[in-house]
């Protein structure tokens, strides 16, 4: 892992990318898109960064395709198109494309260069930065993967104009998380954003990336500090997995699931980390203001807790949480008595 992360901003940085790629004399250049970014982003990408791809690789859009079978198709396509160790892959898409594309690049021929061009808010402020690549294993999220920084990340807010509203809201959850774990004044600013439009959110992308980058540079392999980025994710991932595979429940986006996770974990923090009740309430009311309340039955809760026990952060069968002592003061490796989980769900569902 390097001592800095190569992130550049804006449409100009996409023009500069063309020069960087030319200078590196790659043997072939591949661009990975999903079915949405092919339509909404690829034409503009080729205009801003006028490269001539050897091939455009395509995957279906959605978390359910972030799996080994998609990787297999892409590895084969790279191979058929003559990809070699000196090829480069450009991931143009949301967090699914950057996570999966990064993993494909890290494994094809034991690793080729790749660049991330995040096109969703969530990928800009979170997924494309920090070197975690990977795929899901059945219902279990991000079970297979590698940590390696891309050669570069180019963040341009231009893409957000075509991003659906609920996807903006999903990415916003990670931004609120950055405030909660690291920066109280950032939390207070974000909390009072009147509505989640691309225009209102654009100026907050760089501060969020800065919070994440600080953490990742200090602890790239998640030995300690980096765990704070998992606030809301221990329960949030289990909720996301459950809704992803449930035959009739509506799907929850990543950020929507971790928004619930953060409210649940704020409650756990009042019991286990000394978070004061007024702050937990402030967190709950803020999330309720931005996200619809999801009704989670006791049967749902039992299934979610089953999935939780498989979470990758379990060590020796214990379930460890990142909680908060206060806003901006995370508390890592907290073991939570399982009897509190039902109370946390009650807290989330109460007014
Ligand atoms: N690696 C990490 O550190 C990290 C961190 C957070 C999240 N993640 C992962 O990121 C994923 C979620 O990312 P996501 O929310 O970006 O999901 P996503 O990639 O599925 O993108 C969301 C949707 O928006 C569409 N889209 C993307 N950009 C668009 C644009 N500009 N215009 C129109 N449509 C567009 C996509 O096709 C998709 O349908 C999850 O798999 C999560 O595990 C990874
Ligand atoms: Zn997340």
CATH number of the domain bearing residue 276: 1.20.1090.10
223 and 142 housed in the same domain: no
41 and 141 housed in the same domain: yes
CATH code where residue 42 lies: 3.40.50.1970
Count Cβ atoms below 10 Å from residue 218 Cβ, excluding itself. 11
State residue 251's pLDDT score: 87
152 and 179 housed in the same domain: no
Choice among 79-83, 192-196, 267-271, 284-288 with the minimum mean pLDDT: 192-196
For residue 126, the CA-to-ligand 2 centroid distance in Å is 7
pLDDT class for 284, splitting at 50, 70, 90?
very high
For residue 275, the CA-to-ligand 2 centroid distance in Å is 22
185 and 291 housed in the same domain: yes
**Domain final position from 142, 161, 180:** 161
Name the percent of the chain lying above pLDDT 90.
89
For residue 95, the CA-to-ligand 2 centroid distance in Å is 9
Q: Is the pLDDT of residue 129 over 80?
A: yes
pLDDT class for 244, splitting at 50, 70, 90?
confident
pLDDT class for 314, splitting at 50, 70, 90?
low
Q: Is residue 175 part of a domain?
A: yes
193 and 310 housed in the same domain: yes
Rounded mean pLDDT, 317-327: 90
Q: Could you tell which of 36, 94, 102, 176 is best to mutate to test the pocket of ligand 1, judged by most ligand atoms within 8 Å of the CB? A: 94
pLDDT class for 91, splitting at 50, 70, 90?
very high
Q: Is 81 exposed, middle or buried (0-12, 13-18, 19+ CB in 10 A)?
A: middle
pTM: predicted TM-score of the whole model, two decimal places: 0.95
Ligand 1 atom at minimal distance to the Cα of residue 141? 43
For residue 254, the CA-to-ligand 2 centroid distance in Å is 6
Q: Is 351 helix (H, G, I), strand (E, B) or coil?
A: coil
151 and 176 housed in the same domain: no
Q: Give helix 205-218 / helix 165-182 axis angle, nearest 10°.
A: 50
Q: Is the pLDDT of residue 4 over 90?
A: no
CA distances, 77 to each of 19, 66, 67, 183, 277 (Å): 26, 17, 16, 44, 54
Q: Is residue 204 part of a domain?
A: yes
Q: Is the pLDDT of residue 50 over 70?
A: yes
Q: Is the pLDDT of residue 80 over 70?
A: yes
Q: In the chain, what is the straight-line distance between the N-terminal and C-terminal CA atoms, in Å?
A: 45
State residue 140's pLDDT score: 84
Q: Is residue 2 part of a domain?
A: no
Ligand 1 atom at minimal distance to the Cα of residue 160? 31
pLDDT class for 317, splitting at 50, 70, 90?
low
Name the closest-CA residue to atom 41, ligand 1. 96
Distance of CA 336 to the CA centre of its chain: 25
Rounded mean pLDDT, 153-165: 97
Rounded mean pLDDT, 341-349: 97
For residue 343, the CA-to-ligand 2 centroid distance in Å is 24
State residue 325's pLDDT score: 98
Q: Is 267 helix (H, G, I), strand (E, B) or coil?
A: helix
Indicate the pairing of strand 329-335 with strand 87-93.
Answer: unpaired
What residues contact 184, with CB distance under 8 A and at least 6 apart?
A: 327, 328
Rounded mean pLDDT, 65-85: 98
Count the domains in the chain: 2
129 and 157 housed in the same domain: yes
Name the closest-CA residue to atom 11, ligand 1. 95
Name the closest-CA residue to atom 7, ligand 1. 127
Q: Is the pLDDT of residue 102 over 60?
A: yes
110 and 207 housed in the same domain: no
State residue 315's pLDDT score: 62
Ligand 1 atom at minimal distance to the Cα of residue 171? 15
Q: Is residue 1 part of a domain?
A: no
Q: Is the pLDDT of residue 318 over 80?
A: no
Rounded mean pLDDT, 191-203: 94
Q: Which residue range forms the structural domain that includes residue 111?
A: 7-161
Rounded mean pLDDT, 188-212: 95
Q: Is residue 246 part of a domain?
A: yes
Do residues 228 and 181 make contact, with C-beta atoms less than 8 angstroms apart? Answer: yes
Q: Which two tokens stand for residue 245?
A: 């595979």
Q: Is the pLDDT of residue 312 over 60?
A: no
19 and 139 housed in the same domain: yes
Name the percent of the chain lying above pLDDT 70.
97
**Domain final position from 111, 136, 161:** 161
What residues contact 297, with CB distance under 8 A and at least 6 apart?
A: none
Q: Could you say which ligand is closest to the alpha carbon of residue 162?
A: 1
**Domain final position from 161, 185, 212:** 161
List all residues whose CB is within 6 A of at least one atom of ligand 1.
34, 36-37, 40-41, 61-63, 66, 93-97, 99, 119-120, 122-123, 126-127, 130, 132, 141-142, 159, 162-163, 167, 170, 254
H or E element: which one contains 264? helix 254-272
pLDDT class for 311, splitting at 50, 70, 90?
low
For residue 255, the CA-to-ligand 2 centroid distance in Å is 6
Q: Is the pLDDT of residue 61 over 70?
A: yes
Q: Is residue 84 part of a domain?
A: yes
Ligand 1 atom at minimal distance to the Cα of residue 36? 37
What residues contact 193, with CB distance under 8 A and at least 6 apart?
A: 200, 201, 204
Residues catalogued as catalytic: 110, 132, 174, 212, 222, 226, 230, 233, 237, 254
Q: Is the pLDDT of residue 2 over 60?
A: no
Q: Is residue 292 part of a domain?
A: yes
72 and 123 housed in the same domain: yes
Q: Is residue 290 part of a domain?
A: yes
pLDDT class for 313, splitting at 50, 70, 90?
low
State residue 337's pLDDT score: 92
Rounded mean pLDDT, 294-312: 89
Residues 239-269, buried b or exposed e (16+ Cβ, 10 A)?
bbbbbbbeeeeeebbbbbbbbbbbbbbbbbb
More confident residue, 141 or 321: 321
Region at 8 (left for phi over 0; alpha for psi -120 to 50; beta for the rest): beta
173 and 28 housed in the same domain: no
173 and 192 housed in the same domain: yes
Please report the DSSP string for 59-113 in residue order.
Answer: E-SSGGG-SHHHHHHHHHHHHHTT--TTEEEEEEESHHHHHHHHHHHHHGGG--E
């Amino acid at each position: 892992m390097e001592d800095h992360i190569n992130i550049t901003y804006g449409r100009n940085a996409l023009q500069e990318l063309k020069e960087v790629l030319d200078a590196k004399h790659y043997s072939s250049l591949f661009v990975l898109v999903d079915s949405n970014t092919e339509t909404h982003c690829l034409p503009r990408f080729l205009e801003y960064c006028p490269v001539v791809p050897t091939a455009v690789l395509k995957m279906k859009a959605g978390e359910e395709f972030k799996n080994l079978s998609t990787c297999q198709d892409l590895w084969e396509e790279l191979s058929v198109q003559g990809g070699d160790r000196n090829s480069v892959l450009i991931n143009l898409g949301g967090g699914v494309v950057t996570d999966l594309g990064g993993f494909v690049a890290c494994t094809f021929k034991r690793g080729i260069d790749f660049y991330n061009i995040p096109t969703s808010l969530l990928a800009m402020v979170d997924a494309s930065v920090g070197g975690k690549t990977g795929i899901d294993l059945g219902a279990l999220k991000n079970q297979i993967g590698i940590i390696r920084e891309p050669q570069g990340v180019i963040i341009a807010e231009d893409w957000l104009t075509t991003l659906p509203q609920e996807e903006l809201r999903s990415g916003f959850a990670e931004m609120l998380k950055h405030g909660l774990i690291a920066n109280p004044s950032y939390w207070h600013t974000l909390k009072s954003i009147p509505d989640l439009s691309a225009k209102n959110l654009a100026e907050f992308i760089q501060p969020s990336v800065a919070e994440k980058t600080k953490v990742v540079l200090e602890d790239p392999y998640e030995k300690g500090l980096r765990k704070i980025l998992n606030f809301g994710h221990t329960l949030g991932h289990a909720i996301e997995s459950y809704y992803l595979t449930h035959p009739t429940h509506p799907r929850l986006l990543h950020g929507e699931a971790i928004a619930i996770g953060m409210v649940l974990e704020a409650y756990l923090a009042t019991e286990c980390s000394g978070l004061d009740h007024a702050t937990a309430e402030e967190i709950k009311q803020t999330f309720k203001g931005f996200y619809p309340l999801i009704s989670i039955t006791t049967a749902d809760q039992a299934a979610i807790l089953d999935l939780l026990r498989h979470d990758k952060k379990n060590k020796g069968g214990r379930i460890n949480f990142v909680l908060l002592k206060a806003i901006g003061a995370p508390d890592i490796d907290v073991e939570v008595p399982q009897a509190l989980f039902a109370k946390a769900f009650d807290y989330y569902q109460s007014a």
